[in-house]
Structure formats: C-alpha cells, structure tokens
Amino acid sequence: MSAPKGPPPPEPGYRVGDKLDAIPLATVGTLLGIATITTALRIYWRARPTWRIGADDYTLIFAWVVTVVWYGIDAAMYHYGRGTQGFAPDPWTMGPLIVADGVLWVWGLNVIRISVALMLLRLKDSLPWKCTLWTIIGVQVCMLIVGTTMHLVMCQPISGRWAPTPLAKCIPTANFMIYGYVYSGFTIASDLILSLLPLTFIRSLHRPLHEKVLIGCLMAAGLAATGVAVARLFLIMGYLGKAGPGINMLSDILWGFELTIGILTASIPTLKAPIHRLLLDWGIMHDKTATTDRSPESFLDQLTHGSHFTRQMRQWDTIKDGDSNRPFMYSTAKKSDGSSSAETRINDSVAAREVTGSAV
C-alpha cells in the first residue's frame, strides 16, 4: 500500500477549494430536526396523562440519540475537509471518524426497524404475525452484529483502512462488494415487510375508505426509506472505491435520509390520534360519525383479532372520567331479565382512537 503523492484533482465541474458541505448537512439536518420534533411529540403523547412508554419507544429514543451522534460526526468530517474539492484530509483524523460514522449508521438503522417491529407486535396475537415480526427482529440483530464487525475488521490492524500500515491485511474489494449487496438486500426486504405488513389488518377496519387509505399511507411511509436504500445500492454498485467529495456528498445524503426517514415513519403513525383530536377540538374537522358510531364495540367488532388488539393497545390511551384519568373503565349493561351482564370494556374505543384518531 503506497502513500498518496498529493491532493486529488477536483471532480469534473468543480474547482480546487469548492466546498460541498452545505447541501448534505442542510438537507439531512432539516429532516433530523423534523424527526426530533415528531419523536418528542410521540414520547409526550405516550407519557401523558399516564406513563405508557414501552420497549418500542425506548428503542426509538436510542436510535434517535445514535442518529444525532452520527450527524455530529458527519459534520465533523466535513469540517476536516471531507467535502472540499482538490483537498486530501489528514487520514489519521478522517479515518477513525469514517469508521465511527459507519458503525453508528448500522446501529441506528437496525434499531429503528426493531422499534417498528416491537410496535407492530402489539396489534395481533396470531402465530404467523408474531413469528414474522420476531424473525425480522432477529434478522436486524444479526445485521447489526455483522455490520459492526465488518466495519471493525475490514482491515487488520484497523489503521490499514486509512493509512499505509505494514503487514496490514484487508478484505478484498470484491468480497466487500458482495457483503454490501447482501446487506442492502436484507435492508430493502426488511423495510418492505415492515411497511406492507400493517396493510393485512388495515383492510379489515370498519372505517371510511379515505380513512383506511390515510392510515395505510401512514403505516407504509417506510416505503420512502426503501426507495432511499435502493438508491444507495445503485450508488454502491456504480461508485464503490471511487470516493470523492461529490460521491461522499451523495452517500452522506442517502445514509442520512435512511436514518431520519426511518425515525419519522416510526413516529408518525402514533401521532394520528392526537392530531385528529386536536383538529376536532379546534373545530377544523368535524366528526361525522359522532352520532352513528358511538358504540365502543362498533370499530373492533370489524377488526380481525380485535379483542387482542384491544388488550395490547389499551395502554396507548386513557379515558377521562370526572376528575381522574384511568386507563381502564367499565360499564355495566342490563339484560332483558333485569340482571347485570358481564362488564363491557369501554376502552375498546380507546384502541380504536389510537389507530383511527376518531373521537369516540
């Protein structure tokens, strides 16, 4: 491995000294800001009026922290010249940052998918549903381990990744490309499954068509991340080993979009109910089903596995009764013979509100 003889020439269309840091940092930073707001609103909504934070929320918070740190390292790399045309950054400064950047990206992306899968586990109790989602979670854990390992053992010693190192042994480029293709394939497949899986029960909802379409779009928003993953795969196929400021800029934008869009799509579906309720309170929307769909059972009776859906989702909301907030309330109905029937769970409507956002 020989040392570079001088700074690389600028890419076509650029001059020496041109900086390409504003575009990736601004675009990814804007999406990260929006993702931060949606995550904060999700946590606020889940923490009030009663604490309903679950494993899916904790994993999403962890993924958000990892993404913020990743963005900070990305900004540091541009500060040290990553996006400057005709400039060779100090390898002993840039190299460790690139390794840390890659490891954090792997952790953030896979933990986001784990968070989404944990959220979907609440919705149905069927064995195929559980097996599918736990398989996806297991695959993400394996991808996390493999991705982290590949970044750390690509060269032994690791300094061989960024500087001439005597006796360094590195994974051949062809083998690393195979890893990149396989990893991207699992990434795209996981995103597709997590995005389309909710549609299997949304079609059973007893709601207006436009509302089912809206819910489906919210739950399937992860398809945007799938599109970014496909674009990143084509970038790898065309430019692996040909890094330059322009290619670095495109790569960082795509990597950042995958992380930030993933956080957005994990948070947005949980915000439909509070936003719908807020619009009703402000008078911007009117509940047309207020007089015809008051029955607590009217929604879940039409939903496959509705009873389990209620049990799993009841912690997602609370119903105000007088001056106290309680997660579960019951009403007692009278049979025709005057005796009391079994208690009817009012919070069936709560689960409906969490998904549809309708006032009940």
Distance CA 323, CA 113 (A): 39
Taking CA atoms, 234 is separated from 48, 140, 185, 244, 258, in Å, by 44, 22, 12, 16, 15
Q: How many CA atoms lie within 13 A of 174 on its CB side?
A: 0
All residues at 6 or more sequence positions from 214 whose CB lies less than 8 Å from its CB, including other chains = 272
pTM for this model (two decimals): 0.76
Q: Among residues 20, 26, 14, which one has the least CA distance to residue 83?
A: 20
At 65, the amino acid letter reads: V
Amino acid 356: pLDDT: 41
Q: List per-block mean pLDDT (blocks of 10 residues) for the chain, which spans 360 residues.
A: 62 82 93 95 88 93 98 95 88 93 96 94 88 96 96 91 87 87 93 86 71 69 86 80 81 94 88 70 61 36 43 43 37 42 38 40
CA dist 59 and 56 (Å) reads 5
CATH class, domain 22-277, is mainly alpha
Write the single-letter amino acid at 103.
Answer: V
> Residue 132 has which token pair?
């599918």
Whose tokens are 């579960």? That residue is: 328
Position 149 scores a pLDDT of 95
Decide: 208 and 127 in contact? Cβ < 8 Å.
no
Taking the domains of the chain in order of start, what are their residue ranges?
A: 22-277, 292-356
Q: With beta carbons less than 8 A apart as the criterion, state whether 194 and 226 touch.
A: no
Q: Let me know: does 277 contact 52? Beta carbons within 8 Å.
A: no
Distance CA 258, CA 246 (A): 19
Q: Residue 11's pLDDT is what?
A: 79
Residue 120 CB partners (closer than 8 Å, separation 6+): 133, 194, 197, 198
